[in-house]
Amino acid sequence: MARYKQSSINEVSRRSNLAELVSGYVHLKRNGTSHIGLCPFHKEKTPSFHVDEDKQLFYCFGCGAGGNVFDFVMRAENLDFVDALQFLAQRAGVTLEEEQQSGGRHDRDAEQRKRLLELNRLAARHFYENLSKPSAKIAVDYMNKRGLDKKTAIKFGVGFAQESWSDLLDAMQAKGFTKDELVLAGLAVKNEKGRVYDKFRNRLMFPIIDVRGNVIGFSGRALGDDAAKYMNSPETPVFHKGRNLFALNLAKQSGLKEGIILVEGNMDVVSLYQRGITNVVAGLGTALTEEQARLLKRYASQVYVCYDGDEAGQKAAQKAIGLLTEAGNVVKVVSFTGAKDPDEYILKNGPESFRALLKEAHESVEYKLLRLRKQYDIYDLSQKISFLNEAAGVLAEIDSEVAREAYMKRISAETDITVEAIRAEVLKLVYYRNKKQVNKELLKERTPERLTQDRADLSHGQSTATYKTERTLLNLIFYHRRAFEFAKEKVQAEWFSGELHRQLFSQIMAFRAENDDPHAAEFLTGLSEETVKQAATSLLYINFEGDSLQGIKEAASKLETEYLRKQAVKLAGEGKVKEANEIYRRLNERRG
């Protein structure tokens, strides 16, 4: 696979404004040259995600995620480095120049990803072609029974996995793929005896396609008496269930001006889409995740939750509402009767009736209160109290004072309990919720330098003071020429007590020797190990004030002293008392 020239990569980096890019995913507030917002990579209520416009770096002081523009796109869009580079190059209008392969890790990972995506594409075609075979009668009959026409089947790439242990395996091996690749792609399974066989058998197959048109996985609907009604691809290098949604690639094309409809099953999506409701997506066999909630927010601000009408579906809807709300979505809940799921409802009642349901959809708070109202008999005193206690919990989650007041008045009228009494209960819950959040934030602030990845070095005998000194020294060497020149002559790698910082010292020295401009974003591009990159991001994001030369002299002196002390202890332990005493003498002279 072709590798792109470093000059092209640097050009893409310099033409990409990180703050502008991140603003498409996160609401940022400017604070000088920095921008602050809620982290898109972990759940939080107090912003700890920072973007430095000058350095073109992002860093979350909550979870430790950080890096340059490429790292952000790789995380946000679930891409490898090459795909992220191509994504940003197209966005910035940069033509990438290729160079010969180097055989590096990025090349190997990109090549593997490319082969797995091609394998998935060919598997999808194979499943689709199976539908025209006589053995597919069971699949065709099922499609007819569910009202799925040929045009829609083609649109979604629906196919058939034959009731065979090696149909796909044989077909893909004939195209040059290995058994190990099929297992890695989640298309085959290897048992304890080493036998490899097809994972999907006798199933109606739905390819899972990302927003760039890549087939990243599959979902298979059982056509026989298999206990597992739906079977999805496992986690693979190209497929992560919690980061993708079924049919988002098609829903995106509809414009999403009216929001996104979130349903539970693939057939719900297909059935609605066939009848003109095209802004619809589904989860992938698991409960909605935080990442999926944030993904939905990226494409539409309003989400209609339309889950199955049974108790399990409504419980799943309650959880989804919470995650969607926390991600910043406006949530409405679609309720229906006379059908078990959206597919059955639209088949019985038609698309216009379903559109009417959307217009009548309840706000998330309204839905929760209606659910509670059905659970309790408010004419029974004890049940009325239970209802009010739970309703107060729902109202305490509302940020708008006006909305909260309106709901309290309505509940007061329904229960004959004064607004004042309801308000007192709600405000008590709000107080405890806020107090809990404040304590959580105070705990975060008290934790020294909440920098995650490289803190592992402290377990190797490195004190917090030494850790901070090493970070100061590395930062000064990177950003200040005078500090770099001093380090070339005076600083030794062995002074660093942790392997991670020793490695970073060598890499920073090599980078600065060839680059007069200390461009942090470009330096990070050359780091392949994730732990090293995270450590570099955390220490390069921070600005150390003061005289750079004086600062590095002081930091270097502290590190050398600490190193010599450890050497003296080691020598004494080995019985080399004379050598140890000589080191102590030198240290005493330095102090004098």
- pLDDT tens for residues 475-533? 999 999 999 999 999 999 999 988 899 999 999 999 999 988 889 999 999 888 888 99
Residue 307 is predicted with a pLDDT of 94
CA–chain centroid gap for 381, Å, is 46
Tell me how far apart the alpha carbons of residues 107 and 431 are, in angstroms, rounded to a whole number.
Answer: 54
Per-residue confidence (pLDDT) for residue 495, from 0 to 100 = 92
Q: What is the mean pLDDT of residues 270-276?
A: 96
Alpha helices, H only, 447-480:
464-479
Share of the chain above pLDDT 90, in %: 56
Amino acid in the structure at residue 52: D
Q: What is the mean pLDDT of residues 136-164?
A: 95
Phi, psi (5° rounding) for residue 98? -95, 155
248-362: CATH number:
3.40.1360.10
pLDDT in tens, 537-587: 999 998 877 788 899 999 999 999 988 988 888 888 888 888 888 888 888
As a whole number of angstroms, the distance between CA 152 and CA 206 comes to 12
CA distance 337 to 310: 10
Residue 100 has pLDDT above 80, yes or no: no
Among 192-196, 255-259, 493-497, the range scoring the smallest mean pLDDT is 255-259
Between residues 369 and 101, the one the model is more confident about:
369
Q: Which helix (H) or strand (E) holds 541?
A: helix 530-541
Supply the pLDDT for residue 57. 95
Q: Pick the range with the lowest mean pLDDT from 143-157, 341-355, 565-579.
A: 565-579
Instruction: Name the phi and psi angles at 330, rounded to 5.
Output: -85, 120
Confidence band (pLDDT; 50, 70, 90) for 204? very high
Task: Say if domain 107-239 classifies as CATH 3.40.50.720.
Answer: no
SS3 84: helix
pLDDT tops 70 at residue 443: no
The predicted-structure confidence for 101-144, as pLDDT tens digits, reads as follows: 555 555 677 789 899 999 999 999 999 999 999 999 999 999 99
Q: Which residues contact 409 (CB under 8 A, 6 or more apart)?
A: 419
| Per-residue burial over 331-368, b = 16 or more CB atoms within 10 Å of its CB, e = otherwise | bbbbbbeeeebbbbbbeeeeeeebeebbeebbebbebb
Which of the listed CATH numbers 1.10.860, 1.20.58, 1.20.120, 1.10.10 matches domain 453-591? 1.10.860
Query: Which residue in 505, 510, 513 sits closest to 559, CA to CA?
Result: 505
pLDDT reported for residue 63: 87
- Computed on alpha carbons and rounded to an integer, the radius of gyration of the chain in Å comes to 30
Whether 48 shows a pLDDT value over 70: the answer reads yes
Least confident of 75-79, 207-211, 356-360, 523-527: 75-79
Please calculate the CA angle 551-552-554 and round it to the nearest 5 degrees. Answer: 70
Selection from 265-269, 443-447, 545-549 with the highest mean pLDDT:
265-269
Place of tokens 């020149």: 485
Yes or no: domain 3-99 corresponds to CATH 3.90.580.10: yes
Tokens 């009668």 found at: 137
Task: Identify the pLDDT of residue 134.
Answer: 95
Burial of 87 (0-12, 13-18, 19+ CB in 10 A): middle
